[in-house]
Structure 1
Amino acid sequence: MVERETMEFDVVIVGAGPAGLSAAIRLAQQAKEQQQELMICVVEKGSEVGAHILSGAVFETRALDELLPAWQSLNAPITTSVSEDDIYWFNNDHKATRIPNYAIPKTFHNKGNYIVSMGNVCRWLAEQAEALGVEIFPGFSAHSLIIEDNVLKGIITGDMGLDKDGKEKDGYMPGMELRAKYTLFAEGCRGHLGKQLINQFKLDAGQSPQHYGLGFKEIWQVPSEQHQEGKVVHGTGWPLDNDTNGGAFMYHAEDNQVVVGLIVDLNYSNPYLSPFDEFQRMKHHPVFKSVLQNGKRIAYGARAIAKGGLNSLPKMHFPGGLLIGCDAGTLNFAKIKGNHTAMKSGIIAADTVLNALKNNQANTDLTEFTAAFKSSWLFEELHSSRNFGPVMHKLGKFVGGAYNTLDQNIFAGKLPFNFKDNVADHDTLLNKDQARSISYPKPDGVISFDKLSSVFLSNTNHEESQPCHLQLANAEIPLSVNLAQFDEPAQRYCPAGVYEIQEVEGQSEFVINSQNCIHCKTCDIKDPSQNITWVTPEGAGGPNYPNM
Structure 2
Amino acid sequence: MEREVMEYDVVIVGGGPSGLSAAIKLAQLSKENNKPLEICLLEKGSEIGAHILSGNVFQPTALNELIPDWKDKNCPLNVPVKKDKLMFLFKKFGISIPSFVMPPMNNHGNYVTSLGNLCRWLATQAEDLGIEIFPGFPAHEILYENDKVVGVRTGDMGIGLNGEQKPGFEAGIDIKAKYTIFGEGCRGHLGKQLIAKYELDMDKDPQHYGIGFKEVWKIKDEVHEEGLVIHTNGWPSAKNTPAGSYLYHADNNEVYLGYVVPLDYENPHLSPFDEFQTWKTHPSIKPYLEGGERLTYGARALIKGGIQSLPSMEFPGGVLVGDNAGTLNFSKIKGSHTAMKSGMLAAEAIFNNIDSGDILEFDEMIAGSWIHTELYKSRNFGPMFHKFGALIGAAFNAIDQLIFRGNLPFTLHHKTPDYACLKPAADMPVIEYPKPDGKISFDKLSSVFLSNTYHEEDQPCHLTLKDSSIPILQNLPMYAEPAQRYCPAGVYEVVEKDSGPEFVINGQNCVHCKTCDIKDPSQNITWVTPEGTGGPNYPNM
Please give the TM-score of this superposition, normalised by the length of structure 1: 0.98
TM alignment of 1:99-178, pairs within 5 A: 99-102=97-100, 104-178=101-175
CA drift at 1:101: 2.6
Note the aligned Cα RMSD (angstroms).
0.8
Q: Which residue of 1 aligns with 2:323?
A: 326
Match of 1:243 among 230, 240, 243: 240
CA drift at 1:464: 1.3
Q: Which residue of 1 aligns with 2:332?
A: 335
Q: Is the 8 A contact 2:463 2:507 kept in 1?
A: yes
Q: Which residue of 1 aligns with 2:401?
A: 408
Aligned length: 541
Q: 2: distance between equivalents of 1:445 and 1:403?
A: 38
Q: Does 1:227 align with 2:221?
A: no
The one-letter code sitting in structure 2 at the alignment partner of 1:82 is: V
Q: 1: distance between equivalents of 2:301 and 2:359?
A: 29
Q: 2: distance between equivalents of 1:409 and 1:202?
A: 36
TM alignment of 1:9-408, pairs within 5 A: 9-92=8-91, 94-102=92-100, 104-357=101-354, 360-362=355-357, 364-366=358-360, 368-408=361-401
Q: Does 1:463 align with 2:456?
A: yes
Q: 1: distance between equivalents of 2:370 and 2:159?
A: 46
The one-letter code sitting in structure 2 at the alignment partner of 1:361 is: S
The one-letter code sitting in structure 2 at the alignment partner of 1:426 is: Y
Q: Is the 8 A contact 2:99 2:105 kept in 1?
A: no
Q: 1: distance between equivalents of 2:368 and 2:422?
A: 39
CA drift at 1:348: 0.5
Q: 2: distance between equivalents of 1:530 and 1:207?
A: 19
Note the residue ranges of structure 1 that are not aligned, 5 or more in a row: none
Q: Is the 8 A contact 2:181 2:319 kept in 1?
A: yes
Q: Which residue of 2 aligns with 1:509?
A: 502
Q: 2: distance between equivalents of 1:497 and 1:269?
A: 21
Comparing 500-509 with 188-197, greater Cα deviation is found at: 500-509
Q: 2: distance between equivalents of 1:504 and 1:402?
A: 50
CA drift at 1:402: 2.1
SS in 2 for 1:85: strand
Residue by residue, what CA displacement relative to the aligned partner does 1:28-58 show, whole Å, maximum 9, x if unpaired?
0011000001001000000000000000000
Residue by residue, what CA displacement relative to the aligned partner does 1:420-461 show, whole Å, maximum 9, x if unpaired?
101000001110110111111110000000000000000000
Residue by residue, what CA displacement relative to the aligned partner does 1:490-521 show, whole Å, maximum 9, x if unpaired?
00000000000001114100000000000000
Q: 2: distance between equivalents of 1:468 and 1:101?
A: 46
CA drift at 1:397: 2.3
CA drift at 1:105: 1.6
Q: Is the 8 A contact 2:243 2:390 kept in 1?
A: no
Q: 1: distance between equivalents of 2:477 and 2:465?
A: 17
CA drift at 1:414: 1.2
Please give the TM-score of this superposition, normalised by the length of structure 2: 0.99
Q: 1: distance between equivalents of 2:446 and 2:219?
A: 19
Q: 2: distance between equivalents of 1:285 and 1:398?
A: 18
The one-letter code sitting in structure 2 at the alignment partner of 1:291 is: Y
The one-letter code sitting in structure 1 at the alignment partner of 2:428 is: A
The one-letter code sitting in structure 1 at the alignment partner of 2:47 is: E
The one-letter code sitting in structure 2 at the alignment partner of 1:85 is: D
CA drift at 1:288: 1.5
Q: Which residue of 2 aligns with 1:482?
A: 475
SS in 1 for 2:501: strand
Residue by residue, what CA displacement relative to the aligned partner does 1:393-437 show, whole Å, maximum 9, x if unpaired?
112223322222222222221111010101000001110110111
Residue by residue, what CA displacement relative to the aligned partner does 1:210-261 show, whole Å, maximum 9, x if unpaired?
1000000000011111110010000000010101121011000010001110
The one-letter code sitting in structure 2 at the alignment partner of 1:424 is: P
Residue by residue, what CA displacement relative to the aligned partner does 1:124-158 show, whole Å, maximum 9, x if unpaired?
00000000000000000000000121110100000
The one-letter code sitting in structure 2 at the alignment partner of 1:395 is: F
Q: 2: distance between equivalents of 1:203 and 1:101?
A: 37
Comparing 177-186 with 394-403, greater Cα deviation is found at: 394-403
The one-letter code sitting in structure 2 at the alignment partner of 1:482 is: N
Q: Which residue of 2 aligns with 1:539?
A: 532
CA drift at 1:536: 0.4
Structure 1 moving runs of 4+ over 6 Å: none
The one-letter code sitting in structure 1 at the alignment partner of 2:57 is: V
Residue by residue, what CA displacement relative to the aligned partner does 1:262-314 show, whole Å, maximum 9, x if unpaired?
00000000000000001001101122111100000000000000000000001
SS in 1 for 2:252: coil
Comparing 211-220 with 386-395, greater Cα deviation is found at: 386-395
Q: Does 1:498 align with 2:495?
A: no
Residue by residue, what CA displacement relative to the aligned partner does 1:64-105 show, whole Å, maximum 9, x if unpaired?
00000000000100010011110000011x200001134x32
Q: 1: distance between equivalents of 2:516 and 2:135?
A: 25
TM alignment of 1:413-492, pairs within 5 A: 413-492=406-485
Q: Percent identity over the alignment?
A: 57
Q: 2: distance between equivalents of 1:105 and 1:405?
A: 5
Comparing 400-409 with 227-236, greater Cα deviation is found at: 400-409
Q: Is the 8 A contact 2:494 2:501 kept in 1?
A: yes
Note the residue ranges of structure 2 that are not aligned, 5 or more in a row: none
SS in 2 for 1:165: coil
TM alignment of 1:522-537, pairs within 5 A: 522-537=515-530
Q: 2: distance between equivalents of 1:78 and 1:101?
A: 23
SS in 1 for 2:366: helix
